[in-house]
Structure 1
Amino acid sequence: MFPSRTRVRPRRLERRLPWPVSLAGLLIPLVLSVLTAAYVLWFRDDRTEVVVVDRVTGTPIAGAVIETDGAALQTDRTGRARLSVRAQETIRVSAPDHDAVLLKLDQERVRRVRIELRPNVVTGSVTRSGDGAPIAGATVRAVKAGATIVTAESDTRGQYLLRGVPEGAEIRIEHPDYAPMVVMLANDQTRLDAVLRPDVVLGIVRDTTGRPVRALVAAARGWVETGEDGSFRLKGVSVGDQVFVKAPGFRAAVLTVPENFRLDVSLEPIVIRAIYINALVAAKPESLEKRLQLVDRTELNAVVIDLKDSTGQVYYDTRVELARDIGAVRPILDPAKLVKDLKARGIYTIARIVVFEDPILAEARPEWAIKDQTTGQAWRTWNGLAWVNAYRQEVWNYNIALAVEAAAMGFDEIQLDYIRFPTDGPLQKADYGVAHTAENRTAAIGAFLRSAHEALLPTPAYLAADIFGLTMWELGDSGIGQNLEAVAGVVDYVCPMLYPSHFWSGSLGYELPNDHPYEVMRYSLENGLKRVPEARAKFRPWLQDFSYGRGKPYGPDEVRAQIRAVYDAGLSSWMLWNADSVYQEAALETSG
């Protein structure tokens, strides 16, 4: 036998590949599928990628809203979003604290769009000049085309945040105690730090005994009236500015704004006892000195001197061009030197300016004159004098310019005379260009005096107004535009011309008022004071030191009787009138 054989089945040879080759076989199909998907998305997807950034910083804006005709979505934290947009479709992109934009996609298929939004928030600080202290409560406004668009307020740290500021806006920062600041924003400016300058001075006005005084406090850019306690708050001033403090019955005070913006003022009381000196007398040294020696020897302490009288002539070398143009200048006085010399002698100086009886101006500027209804030419008084029209502001401006110039020369007071409409002549023929009613007349005179007063406020000079004596009794305007209440309300001093000889027969029950100087003066003053008791300190009457008309001539006794009447009526100041500037020394008390 043959030995048995075992059948051996041959082994199948297993083929093994290296492991890197095996992994590649798995990854390649995956990569190909990703690339295929990306290809499909990029080349076959019609969506557009939008990137929204801040125009100033370039940083992405997350949460920006993109609106299309059919949908709205927000950008992610990278400022991106994808959306389907048709050709020529307009999209709107907006984000908090940025201006929204509208964008039209002109191309058929726009793959990527970068959109820059303008920030419309402005932040900053408001601090005080000098020490840099924060200012709370400042109002910050964005203004465009004159309209306020948005407003904010600075906090206790002086910080503010202004939202919704339009492009090209003007920023205004304001605070009651500081000068305002106005800045035009630069392109894309988002921060504005403001430094404000204090411009309010605070203080109290008292007399020399410490009692509060009701006064007017003025500077170049405004004025205020003190309260009952004498306190004031004046805005519009800077360190070093002049401040003028005036109250009837007191000398004006001129002060300088200190660095702490605090002024406590003490006003010195003053009593005025004056004589009138006409320009011709004042121009002659010997004649002037004679009057000034009278002042030195007696209780007198003030003089009234003509700078412009009823002829229309201006008696000094004025810089008011109109006076030169119309030939009104007759320079026989040197007012600046005159004021200096008078003050060196302790004399209170008053400049007299006649206003509406001005034949020189009326002839040179006939369009400013009262017209004659029958001829169309200048209306004239019985003496043939033309008057300027008190309704014309050009006439106001001319006389106010002269008054301001006189104040600049150093006069303590400017006294306006003939502040009225005419009283003699063919009045029924006068044409004023407006209805010549009592209301219109009073309004015109009042408005002129108010304008003159305001012009003189930022000067050391007071404003006084001469009025007819009858105005103390007449409740209307006497046909001339003078009403006591209206005049007293807009000037510093009211000067009624209470000449007894000028009262009509029968006035106050006297056949000849001229012969009752004490009674006419006292009763008239007391009647006026009853009508405007709050204006007591403003009253300073003209007294008669001349003889006129029927009745006894005026001597020292008659003049002194009027002075006693002033005192007995509760007043202390007065002025003597004599057209020739000749006065009776015996009527006056000696000085010292």
Structure 2
Amino acid sequence: MRTEPSPFGLRRRRRWHWLSWKLSLAMLGLPLIVLLATTGYVVLIRDERLHVTVLDAYTEQPLAGVHVRAGQAEAVTDEAGEARIEASGSASLVFEKEDYDPVTLEIAPDQRSARVRMRPNVVRGVVTRRDNGEPLAGVTVKALSGDQVVTQTTTDSNGSYALRGVPEGATLAFEHDEFADVRIDLSRQTAVSVALRPDVVTGQVTDPDGQPIQGATVAIGNAIATTDEMGTFRLTGAPEQGEIVVKAPGYRAAVVPLSAEMRVAAQLEPISVRAIYINAAVAANPEAWAERLALVERTEVNAVVVDLKDSTGRVFYDSQVQLAQEIGAVLPILDPKAIVEELHRRDIYAIARIVVFEDPILAEAKPEWAIKDAATGDLWRTWNGLAWVNAHRSEVWDYNIALALEAASFGFDEIQLDYIRFPSDGPLDRAEYGVEHNRETRTQAIGEFLERARLALAPTRAYLGADIFGLTLWELGDSGIGQVLEVVAERVDYICPMIYPSHFYPGSMGFEIPNDHPYEVILWSLQNGAERIPQHVRKLRPWLQDFSYGPGIEYGPNEVRAQIQAVEDAGLDSWMIWNADNVYHEEALHAS
């Protein structure tokens, strides 16, 4: 007789079947939903939802709280970085979490699982002072993509910051007015702390009596500042170490080591420069050179101007400027270092003269940098047949500035640039410059060249001087050569007008022959110039003539002395005397 199983036995068999199915499906990796039917039987249903796992792309740790969307369906990952979402009918999943880049994942129709890595886009850290370790508030922290700022923030009172939305491969920039900028190329970083170095130098520049010197240049590396009416300055962008150079017209340059205190008190010694010109041929002749130096030591003269490059384009020493060698400009008859050493040993102020735009050698070697003749297409030339380089060309600027820097490296106290102008004689109507050529562009070209030279020489001990036409003190335009007094004055340490009475036109200043009136021509010219640039009067140091030229009187000791007296009566104490042959009337000079 068949017996019915007991209720207990039935439950036991049902339990066995349920466990059996669960183990079997689990081994196949199939998700289950288990339901208890009203009959008491267990019903097994396969879970059709997509299983996702989300990890931090940098740490590989699971990410909780990630919002997952598939069409209208949504889910949030748990502590294990996992979630299940109904993805049927959707072609993509969207993963979003604050401080992480969103991710969109394309999924296949039969795909049952997905593994996603999300890149964190927030960087945190602390900014401190390198000198004392204290937290630094107010630092701007930027994320840069190339030169573009993508996102930025500012450190708080604790020096802390959190920069969000940082793109992959960004550069992190830390900026503060009082400290050197820091840039860091990010890789897989979410924490970046830095210590910033102070890069602001402050101080005061005074004369020996403690009076402030306004308009002094203070420079180190690429950092340049100018003193105010109290002689104080604030120099930003100072390098970590080096020497600060302090210069002001009418004073000797001073060099002050950069200290950890980032504070400078500089005292400048005044100097009056009274110079004679010595060309390269005389300087290269030991006997002739000795004669001129003896003249300097016997008289009130205390400075010499020596040619390093003249209007032939020749460079009279073994220049290491590659272009000078390439174009055959080098004629090494001078040893500039030895010249400077000897002059300084005798306490003589050393000035290096460099002729700039009248340069036939460079023009012939680099015709593309030269003025062209519009009629012939060949090089334009003066009435004397000399080719000129084009003052609009920055390549020409760079060449001469390289020579000026080299001269400064020899220890010259001053670099004096001559022929910083466009040509004044020749068939000027046929001169072709390749750019619009008028008063504005001429003045701009000369001004930009001098500004570039000023910035280049600022961190050196050498002052920058510029020779200009004497007529520039009177002419309000540019005389067709690009020289405007106000423009030049703003960009050099010394303005050197060539006020040769013999070179003024008949009728100038009311004189039929200006050459017959050396005192008046010099005095009135300087007074007129001083009225135009009252804030730069100390920069005026004129060239005087000790030669005879053109109609009028012969020049001797009296005429030379009259010019010197005119300089002094104009309220100035510095001057230079020119004679192309370097022969000077000693009787015109006071004994030392």
TM-score above 0.5, yes or no: yes
| Displacement after TM superposition at 1:45 (Å) | 3.7
* Matched residue, 2:339: 338
Query: Aligned pair 1:473/2:474, yes or no?
Result: yes
The alpha-carbon distance between structure 1 residues 292 and 127, as it changes in their structure 2 partners (threshold 3 A), is same
| Displacement after TM superposition at 1:272 (Å) | 0.6
Contact 1:465-1:494 at 8 Å conserved across structures: yes
- Give the match's secondary structure for 1:316: coil
Residue correspondence of structure 1 range 3-42 to structure 2 within 5 A: 38-40=33-35
| Displacement after TM superposition at 1:57 (Å) | 4.8
- Give the match's secondary structure for 1:414: strand
- Whose radius of gyration is greater, 1 or 2? 1
Letter in 2 for 1:132: G
- Give the match's secondary structure for 2:287: helix
Letter in 1 for 2:255: V
Deviation sequence 1:304-341 (CA, Å, 0-9, x none): 11111122221111112222222222221111101001
- Partner Cα distance (1:587, 1:509) in 2: 27
* Matched residue, 2:504: 503
- Give the match's secondary structure for 1:395: helix
| Displacement after TM superposition at 1:565 (Å) | 1.0
- Partner Cα distance (2:398, 2:55) in 1: 61
Deviation sequence 1:238-273 (CA, Å, 0-9, x none): 343122221111111222211222222111111111
- Is the deviation greater in 86-95 or in 560-569? 86-95
Q: Aligned match of 1:96 in 95, 98, 105?
A: 98
Residue correspondence of structure 1 range 10-409 to structure 2 within 5 A: 38-40=33-35, 43-57=45-59, 60-76=62-78, 79-86=81-88, 89-106=91-108, 108=110, 110=112, 113-187=114-188, 189-213=189-213, 214-409=215-410
Letter in 2 for 1:91: L
Letter in 2 for 1:354: V
The alpha-carbon distance between structure 1 residues 434 and 568, as it changes in their structure 2 partners (threshold 3 A), is same
Contact 1:87-1:105 at 8 Å conserved across structures: no
| Displacement after TM superposition at 1:77 (Å) | 5.5
Letter in 1 for 2:378: Q
The alpha-carbon distance between structure 1 residues 29 and 56, as it changes in their structure 2 partners (threshold 3 A), is farther
- Is the deviation greater in 175-184 or in 480-489? 175-184
Letter in 1 for 2:86: S
- Give the match's secondary structure for 1:290: helix
The alpha-carbon distance between structure 1 residues 378 and 49, as it changes in their structure 2 partners (threshold 3 A), is closer
| Displacement after TM superposition at 1:413 (Å) | 0.5
Deviation sequence 1:375-423 (CA, Å, 0-9, x none): 2222222222222222222222222221111111111111111222222
- Give the match's secondary structure for 1:305: strand
| Displacement after TM superposition at 1:78 (Å) | 5.5
- Partner Cα distance (1:171, 1:226) in 2: 34
* Matched residue, 1:11: none
- Partner Cα distance (2:281, 2:145) in 1: 61
* Matched residue, 1:570: 571
| Displacement after TM superposition at 1:290 (Å) | 1.4
Between the two proteins, the alignment pairs up a number of residues equal to 568
- Partner Cα distance (2:391, 2:83) in 1: 77
* Matched residue, 1:455: 456
Deviation sequence 1:139-188 (CA, Å, 0-9, x none): 2122234432221222222221122223332222222222222222223x
| Displacement after TM superposition at 1:60 (Å) | 4.9
- Partner Cα distance (1:115, 1:549) in 2: 92
Contact 2:33-2:47 at 8 Å conserved across structures: no
Q: TM-score, normalised by structure 1?
A: 0.89
- Is the deviation greater in 450-459 or in 95-104? 95-104
Deviation sequence 1:176-203 (CA, Å, 0-9, x none): 222222222223x221122323322222
Query: Aligned pair 1:410/2:411, yes or no?
Result: yes
- Partner Cα distance (2:245, 2:7) in 1: 100
Letter in 2 for 1:256: P
The alpha-carbon distance between structure 1 residues 559 and 135, as it changes in their structure 2 partners (threshold 3 A), is same
| Displacement after TM superposition at 1:64 (Å) | 2.8
- Partner Cα distance (2:160, 2:114) in 1: 37
- Partner Cα distance (1:525, 1:145) in 2: 53
Contact 2:220-2:239 at 8 Å conserved across structures: no
Letter in 2 for 1:197: R
Contact 2:245-2:461 at 8 Å conserved across structures: yes
* Matched residue, 1:6: none
Contact 1:543-1:577 at 8 Å conserved across structures: yes
- Partner Cα distance (2:393, 2:501) in 1: 33
- Give the match's secondary structure for 2:332: strand
Contact 1:50-1:114 at 8 Å conserved across structures: yes
Deviation sequence 1:13-48 (CA, Å, 0-9, x none): xxxxxxxxx997898699789979953486334334
| Displacement after TM superposition at 1:484 (Å) | 1.2
- Partner Cα distance (1:349, 1:208) in 2: 23
The alpha-carbon distance between structure 1 residues 168 and 432, as it changes in their structure 2 partners (threshold 3 A), is closer
- Partner Cα distance (1:103, 1:421) in 2: 67
- Is the deviation greater in 397-406 or in 197-206? 197-206
Contact 1:87-1:109 at 8 Å conserved across structures: no
Contact 2:131-2:198 at 8 Å conserved across structures: no
Letter in 1 for 2:193: D
Contact 2:139-2:154 at 8 Å conserved across structures: yes
- Partner Cα distance (1:240, 1:146) in 2: 28
Contact 1:224-1:233 at 8 Å conserved across structures: yes
The alpha-carbon distance between structure 1 residues 363 and 185, as it changes in their structure 2 partners (threshold 3 A), is closer
- Is the deviation greater in 403-412 or in 356-365? 356-365
Letter in 2 for 1:537: R
- Give the match's secondary structure for 1:315: coil
Unpaired runs of at least 5, structure 1: 1-21
Q: TM-score, normalised by structure 2?
A: 0.89
Contact 2:33-2:46 at 8 Å conserved across structures: no
The alpha-carbon distance between structure 1 residues 400 and 53, as it changes in their structure 2 partners (threshold 3 A), is closer
The alpha-carbon distance between structure 1 residues 491 and 71, as it changes in their structure 2 partners (threshold 3 A), is same
Contact 2:33-2:44 at 8 Å conserved across structures: yes
Letter in 2 for 1:203: G
Contact 2:283-2:334 at 8 Å conserved across structures: yes
The alpha-carbon distance between structure 1 residues 533 and 118, as it changes in their structure 2 partners (threshold 3 A), is same
* Matched residue, 1:14: none
The alpha-carbon distance between structure 1 residues 80 and 278, as it changes in their structure 2 partners (threshold 3 A), is closer
- Give the match's secondary structure for 2:316: strand
- Give the match's secondary structure for 2:45: helix
| Displacement after TM superposition at 1:579 (Å) | 1.2
- Partner Cα distance (2:9, 2:355) in 1: 118
The alpha-carbon distance between structure 1 residues 30 and 174, as it changes in their structure 2 partners (threshold 3 A), is farther
- Partner Cα distance (2:58, 2:328) in 1: 67
Letter in 1 for 2:438: T
- Give the match's secondary structure for 2:187: coil
Letter in 1 for 2:72: G
- Partner Cα distance (2:66, 2:115) in 1: 13
Letter in 1 for 2:472: T
| Displacement after TM superposition at 1:109 (Å) | 6.2
- Partner Cα distance (2:111, 2:516) in 1: 112
Q: CA RMSD in A?
A: 2.6
Letter in 2 for 1:242: E
- Partner Cα distance (1:93, 1:382) in 2: 80
Unpaired runs of at least 5, structure 2: 1-5, 23-31, 36-42
Letter in 1 for 2:191: R
- Is the deviation greater in 94-103 or in 28-37? 28-37
* Matched residue, 1:546: 547
